[in-house]
Amino acid sequence: EASTQELIARRNRLLGPAYRLFYEQPVHVVRGEDVWLYDAAGNRYLDAYNNVACVGHCHPHVIEAIARQAAVLNTHTRYLHETILDYAERLLATFPVDLGQVMFTCTGSEANDLALRVARTCTGGTGVVVTRTAYHGVTGALADLSPSLGLPEPTAPHVRLVSAPHSADDDTGKIFASHVRAAFEDMARSGIRPAALLVDTIFSSDGVFADPPGFLRPAVDAARAAGALFIADEVQPGFGRCGEGMWGFARHGVVPDMVTMGKPMGNGHPIAAMAARPDLLKEFGARSRYFNTFGGNPVSAAAGMAVLDVIERQRLVENARRTGTYLRERLTALRARHELVAEVRGAGLFIGVELRRGASPAAGETTKLVNAMRRRHVLISAAGPGANVLKIRPPLTFGMEHGDLLVEALDQALQENSI
Ligand code: PMP
């Protein structure tokens, strides 16, 4: 059995240095089951970060659906097959009627890339507004729209960045909308026509801002008034994570022009998609061509369908609401015991815990804490412009007992002298 250090050296030798691993001491995972990941030595880790394993690692229903379909047919998506249609019907039934068509890709990045192409084709513009610490994907076009990558390139001329809200006050929506309006005005002054406002419906890499519900709506109105389309990135909040229906945008009382989704969709099997207003896809189809060899292939469609089955049968949206509320309450109670814990926010099982020393973001302490939690076998991460927000995003099967384990580990880690 190769040691973790040997594996890391081998990985660097074979894959090069650009891929990053989680944690100072990466976990060598060999097996997953529900909310647990197991390392080579048989230790188990509570996976409270992995929104890919949406219905829990290696869910038997999903495995069975994948195996059954793989044994019959998996193919290039330019052959006519029915699984993609069955899945499209099921998926579209979770959306408001206006979002009546869906195109499949393999990754969230491809879905966002496609949404941008559609927006640019249909508006005739190129300009895009995103949040200041956004992450929307790895493609060349999206690197400019993903400032959280921290790439050295200057921001492209067609991109404008707006700060995410920093509080959940009544006027948060108005303030955010004024930033969005100003960004589109600035764009117009440079002679750049607007194409899209592209934002997460819970600001994720910007620091997990979810409240107040509805705060996105005035910004969406401002974007549309400027002639832009609203693309909702649901790669993280989507599929019931927010605990209120399937989609984060519903919390804001808006219907996007396009919605992109990915990560949890196939419970780890690569499938992603972009749902859109049919009139947009009509225009796009008249002027452009698109195909995606693996996107929505029979096996990934079967995986996606099985994930929807499990979300419904195990009432996981309700669990996200119930367990999420409980977990946020317990985390909030830590504020009384630890000065560092400044704010707990989020919706359902999408939770951010902001750490501050007085008024300053406690970035160093946050990194230490994430690694201290990993030593205690609880896996979480960090986000936000100040890198000082613990990000908690477990599988939707997370129970209150798992929440208790997480809070106790966090309480102890915060007590460690080093933090
Ligand atoms: N949008 C958001 C909000 C994401 O978090 C991610 C992935 N971290 C993406 C898009 C890109 O998805 P993928 O990695 O599947 O390409």
Any idea what the CATH number is for the domain that residue 151 is in? Answer: 3.40.640.10
Find the 64 Cα to ligand 1 centroid distance in Å: 26
Per-residue model confidence (pLDDT) at position 166: 82
Per-residue model confidence (pLDDT) at position 165: 86
Return d(Cα 302, Cα 280) in angstroms, integer: 27
Query: Parallel, antiparallel, or unpaired: how do β-strands 229-233 and 258-261 relate?
Result: parallel
Instruction: Let me know whether 217 and 348 are in one domain.
Output: no
Which of 136, 199, 234 gets mutated to test ligand 1 (max ligand atoms within 8 A of its CB)? 136
Instruction: Let me know whether 135 and 253 are in one domain.
Output: yes
Find the 114 Cα to ligand 1 centroid distance in Å: 13
E strand intervals along 216-305: 229-233, 258-261, 272-276
Spatial CB neighbours of 12, under 8 Å, sequence gap ≥ 6: none
Instruction: Let me know whether 334 and 290 are in one domain.
Output: no
DSSP letter assigned to residue 380: -
- Residue 408, both tokens: 């106790």
Look at residues 313, 347, 380 and tell me which one is the last residue of a structural domain.
313
For residue 150, how many C-alpha atoms fall within 13 Å in the half-sphere facing its CB? 7
Per-residue model confidence (pLDDT) at position 168: 87
Instruction: Report the CATH number that the domain containing residue 335 is assigned in CATH.
Output: 3.90.1150.10
Question: Where do runs of H (alpha helix) occur along 239-379?
Answer: 278-287, 298-313, 316-333, 363-375
- Residue 128, both tokens: 């895009």
Find the 416 Cα to ligand 1 centroid distance in Å: 34
What pTM did the predictor assign?
Answer: 0.97
Spatial CB neighbours of 152, under 8 Å, sequence gap ≥ 6: none
Per-residue model confidence (pLDDT) at position 152: 58
Return d(Cα 179, Cα 187) in angstroms, integer: 12
Distances (CA, A) of 232 to 102, 113, 131, 135, 328: 14, 13, 12, 13, 25
DSSP letter assigned to residue 3: -
Find the 373 Cα to ligand 1 centroid distance in Å: 24
Using a 6 Å cutoff on CB, does residue 109 contact ligand 1? Answer: yes
Using a 6 Å cutoff on CB, does residue 112 contact ligand 1? Answer: yes
Which of 20, 22, 109 gets mutated to test ligand 1 (max ligand atoms within 8 A of its CB)? 109
Instruction: Let me know whether 404 and 272 are in one domain.
Output: no
Q: Are 63 and 55 in contact (CB under 8 A)?
A: no
Tell me the sheet residues that pair with 101: 276
Find the 108 Cα to ligand 1 centroid distance in Å: 5
Per-residue model confidence (pLDDT) at position 418: 60
In this structure, the residue with its CA closest to atom 2 of ligand 1 is: 136
Instruction: Let me know whether 225 and 264 are in one domain.
Output: yes
Instruction: Let me know whether 106 and 247 are in one domain.
Output: yes
Find the 264 Cα to ligand 1 centroid distance in Å: 11
Per-residue model confidence (pLDDT) at position 73: 97
Helix, strand, or coil (residue 327)? helix
Q: Are 215 and 173 in contact (CB under 8 A)?
A: yes
In this structure, the residue with its CA closest to atom 1 of ligand 1 is: 136
Length of the chain counted residue by residue: 419
Find the 237 Cα to ligand 1 centroid distance in Å: 11
Domain residues for 65?
60-313
Using a 6 Å cutoff on CB, does residue 354 contact ligand 1? Answer: no
Q: Are 113 and 143 in contact (CB under 8 A)?
A: no
Spatial CB neighbours of 85, under 8 Å, sequence gap ≥ 6: none
Look at residues 296, 313, 330 and tell me which one is the last residue of a structural domain.
313
In this structure, the residue with its CA closest to atom 10 of ligand 1 is: 136
Q: Are 62 and 310 in contact (CB under 8 A)?
A: yes
Using a 6 Å cutoff on CB, does residue 133 contact ligand 1? Answer: no
Instruction: Let me know whether 252 and 232 are in one domain.
Output: yes
Return d(Cα 241, Cα 140) in angstroms, integer: 29
The complex's ipTM?
A: 0.99
Look at residues 313, 346, 381 and tell me which one is the last residue of a structural domain.
313
Using a 6 Å cutoff on CB, does residue 83 contact ligand 1? Answer: no
Per-residue model confidence (pLDDT) at position 28: 93
Q: What string of H, E and C letters represents the secondary structure of 54-116?
A: CCCECCHHHHHHHHHHHHHCCCCCCCCCCHHHHHHHHHHCCCCCCCCEEEEECCHHHHHHHHH
Q: Are 36 and 57 in contact (CB under 8 A)?
A: yes
Instruction: Let me know whether 325 and 375 are in one domain.
Output: yes
Instruction: Let me know whether 76 and 183 are in one domain.
Output: yes
Measured in degrees and rounded to the nearest 5, phi and psi for residue 26 equal -55, 145
Determine how many CB atoms are found less than 10 A away from the CB of residue 147: 21
Instruction: Let me know whether 284 and 144 are in one domain.
Output: yes
Q: Report which ligand 1 atom has the smallest distance to the Cα of 112.
A: 10
Find the 357 Cα to ligand 1 centroid distance in Å: 31
Instruction: Let me know whether 137 and 32 are in one domain.
Output: no
**Cis preceding-peptide flag for 154 (omega within 30 of 0):** no
Low-confidence ranges of the chain (pLDDT < 70): 1, 151-154, 417-419
Per-residue model confidence (pLDDT) at position 209: 94
Using a 6 Å cutoff on CB, does residue 108 contact ligand 1? Answer: yes
Q: Tens digits of per-residue pLDDT, 321-365?
A: 999 999 999 999 999 999 999 999 999 999 999 999 999 999 999
Instruction: Let me know whether 300 and 401 are in one domain.
Output: no
Spatial CB neighbours of 230, under 8 Å, sequence gap ≥ 6: 196, 197, 220, 223, 224, 254, 256, 257, 258
Find the 55 Cα to ligand 1 centroid distance in Å: 18
Q: Tens digits of per-residue pLDDT, 385-410?
A: 999 999 999 999 999 999 999 999 99
Per-residue model confidence (pLDDT) at position 197: 98
For residue 240, how many C-alpha atoms fall within 13 Å in the half-sphere facing its CB? 29
Name the domain count of the chain: 2
Per-residue model confidence (pLDDT) at position 400: 98
Return d(Cα 365, Cα 357) in angstroms, integer: 9
